[in-house]
A and B are shown apart, each in its own frame.
Chain A
Amino acid sequence: MAVLSFGQALKDALDVAMSKDDSVFIAGEGVGVSIHYDPNLPTHGLLEKYGRKRVKDTPVSEAAIAGLGVGASALGLRPVVEIMFFPFITLAADMLVNHAAKLRYLSGGKSAFPLTVRVKAGVSFAAGCQHSHNLEAWLAHSPGLRVVFPSTAADAKGLLLSAIFDPNPVIVIEEMLLYWMKGEVPDGDHRIPIGKARVVIPGKDCTVVSYGGAVYTALEAAKTLSEEGISTEVIDLRSLVPLDKACLLDSVRRTGRLVVLHDATKFGGFGAEISAIVAEEAFDVLKAPIKRVAAPDIPVPVSPPQEMFNKPSPETVIAAVRATVGKG
């Protein structure tokens, strides 16, 4: 096993997929020649290795990039297209939501779209709300799209590889601040099944469910809480659609309490879905009301103190867990 950064792990996945299967190609704005020159970025060096036929720098045209992916995948290629920043996915949304997600169903199961869309996400690099906006709940709310959101280098590789070889359209959400975070990554064609959550640390008193970079906020909170005798179980969902309901419900059945954490805004967010599932299916075991920790319902502001205010902190998670276990 090698120690790689999250970004290198993603590149490793692309590299493995491209060398294994020549129906895989990548396309997007600056996926070949980029203004950034950093080996920790996921497409760095792939143009040199695979050439212009398979590494396609596109014009600034998100609708066309997504359409390229949908159309090419219908003919059996395995496109991996990149949307530079999460909010720009709105420009690609017609192709993803109205086409990639629906055309198989509309064809009565005759067509398939083995498409992967990588989208770079992240709050807290002071670019403001037109660059930082976590829209995973929008995507998850479109039946026909799979949505994964890795938090570690190994998962990034494993989930991206699974996405590429999945016969369905999969959106892979990459939190940019994690690109430089290192971890052990299995070599070769290492895949993580889409739809399997991970118990990051086991605990007895309360379950904290999260995904993406917010998992680290949960872990920091859990550390402090354990010092005061509260044992927190942290679950990383890894995949929002399909969702590992079994892992979620098992955990809540063990701890009897649930706090859901994400960096996206609260109202109508993915946390609402998790809470609803637990309320519907495990109400009997709940010892306290479910709590959601999320960003306030505002766009992401730029000014440093406000951007910090916007992002859920370990302290807010700690407070939520304490309140849930009755030590608030």
Chain B
Amino acid sequence: MGSQQVEVGLKKAMYEEMALIRRFEEKLIELSQEKGKLVGMQILAYGQEAVSVGIVKALEPDDVIVSNHRSHGHLLAKGADPKYLMAEIMGKATGVNKGKSGTLHMSVPEVNALMTTTIVGGGPPLAVGAAFAQQYRGTSNITVVFFGDGAAAEGSVHEAMNLAALWKLPVLFVCENNCWAGAQSLSEHCCLMDITRRAVGYGMPGELVDGNDVEKVFTLAKEMVSRCRNSQGPVLIEAKTYRIRGHGEHDHQHYVDKKELEAWARLCPVRCLRERMLADGLVTEGEIQVMDRQIEAKVDEAVRFASDSPYPLPEEALQDLWVEDGIPQQVAQ
């Protein structure tokens, strides 16, 4: 699987999205060192860009994603505007959720990034409900839920998979196995090592993929998405990758073996794709530089927009608790 099956235009588009996610998060690293710029914890998907992009590129715009605390990659890949995400991360009134969510629970229903929960293991049951609605209405859309290897230990994840398999719901469960759950390594919280092996216990396919290779992720996702779409029930994909920056920017990784970190850093998904495209003659250095500059400008613009935006008014905290006049359009469909 791999290079041959992904056409050039798509490969470039995937590079652009991965590079955007990377640049966006590099900016967050810089900003998190400036006092008072960002609010709360900063939890990055740095190093996991290929999973977000490879999976989401295999979807239709009307397919739904459910995200978790490490959401920037998922949301940007789904087409969320970096300006409004950045503003939300800064707690501004112009943020995707008017500053109520901050970085941890951003939702962008406009692009069908319907829900994000920072309750670990909360995503899969939500996804089951969304997929049920899709099946119930007879649409051909599916729901994808991203969760970590650590989350796989929560009972809610087992319950969701069992129900989804039983009712043949169109859910793609994507476990981003980044080798860590907080300060616990995979072997310290899970005996199986491969989360996919659980799939058989629920009666659904479970597929492993190299999560640092966007083409492999995409190719597998394409196949599995079409299975879900054709009423054959849920699928579990486990993408093996690595959490390069620690749990959050407040985590200095004192418990991580530096050699392991370096070895994974060499597998950087963004750089690997770039080098492969260059080696295959699909792009020139010049073209890459143009793309990178455009991405840089886009992220700078997002930071400018967010920095210039006002904070919401204190009393506006009282708004948005209740629906006063019917269900909003985008949720009702």
Which residue numbers of A lie inside 8 Å of B, CB to CB?
29-30, 33-37, 57-64, 87-88, 91, 125-128, 130-131, 296-299, 301-306, 308-310
Contact = CB atoms under 8 A, between A and B. Distances in A.
16 contacts: A30-B182, A35-B250, A35-B251, A57-B188, A58-B189, A60-B120, A63-B155, A125-B40, A126-B40, A126-B102, A128-B104, A130-B117, A297-B321, A303-B100, A303-B312, A304-B311
B100 to A, nearest CB: 4
A298 B189 CA distance: 35
B314 A309 contact: yes
Nearest to A126: B40
B316 interface: yes
B309 to A, nearest CB: 11
B252 interface: yes
B208 interface: no
Given A59-B181, A296-B318, A304-B39, 15 more contacts: A30-B182, A35-B246, A37-B252, A59-B153, A60-B121, A60-B181, A64-B155, A91-B119, A91-B121, A126-B91, A128-B100, A301-B317, A302-B40, A305-B312, A305-B314
Nearest to A57: B184
From A29, A87, A308, residue with most partner B Cβ within 10 Å: A29
B4 to A, nearest CB: 39
B288 interface: no
B274 interface: no
Given A60-B154, A60-B189, A63-B155, A35 B183 contact: yes
B153 A61 contact: yes
A32 B230 CA distance: 46
Contact of B101 (A60, A62, A302): A302
Interface of B: 39-41, 91-93, 95, 98-102, 104-105, 117-121, 150-151, 153-156, 181-184, 188-190, 246-248, 250-255, 311-318, 321
Nearest to A35: B251
Contacts of A298: 317-318, 321
B101 A128 contact: yes
Contacts of A127: 40-41, 102, 104
A164 B154 CA distance: 27
B118 A130 contact: yes
A263 B158 CA distance: 35
Contacts of B247: 35
Contacts of A58: 189
A128 B117 CA distance: 11
Contacts of A306: 99-100, 311-312, 314, 316-317
A298 B320 CA distance: 9
A63 B120 CA distance: 12
Contact of B254 (A37, A302, A304, A308): A37
A319 to B, nearest CB: 16
B35 to A, nearest CB: 13
B155 A61 contact: yes
Given A126-B40, A296-B318, A303 B119 contact: no
A91 B156 CA distance: 9
Contacts of B40: 125-128, 302
A59 B41 contact: no
Contacts of A91: 119, 121, 154, 156
B266 to A, nearest CB: 24
A303 B318 CA distance: 13
A36 B188 CA distance: 18
B184 A59 contact: yes
Which of A35, A59, A310 has most chain B Cβ within 10 Å? A35
Contact of A308 (B119, B255, B314, B321): B314
A281 B275 CA distance: 77
A303 B41 CA distance: 13
Given A35-B246, A60-B181, A306-B99, A126 B121 contact: no
Nearest to A60: B150
A30 B153 CA distance: 14
Contacts of A296: 317-318
Given A303-B39, A303-B92, A88 B119 contact: yes
A302 B184 contact: no
A178 B155 CA distance: 32
Given A37-B254, A88-B119, A302 B181 contact: no
Q: Which 8 residue pairs of A and B lie closest in terms of their CB atoms, listed nearest first?
A: A303-B99, A302-B102, A59-B153, A126-B40, A309-B314, A303-B91, A306-B317, A59-B189
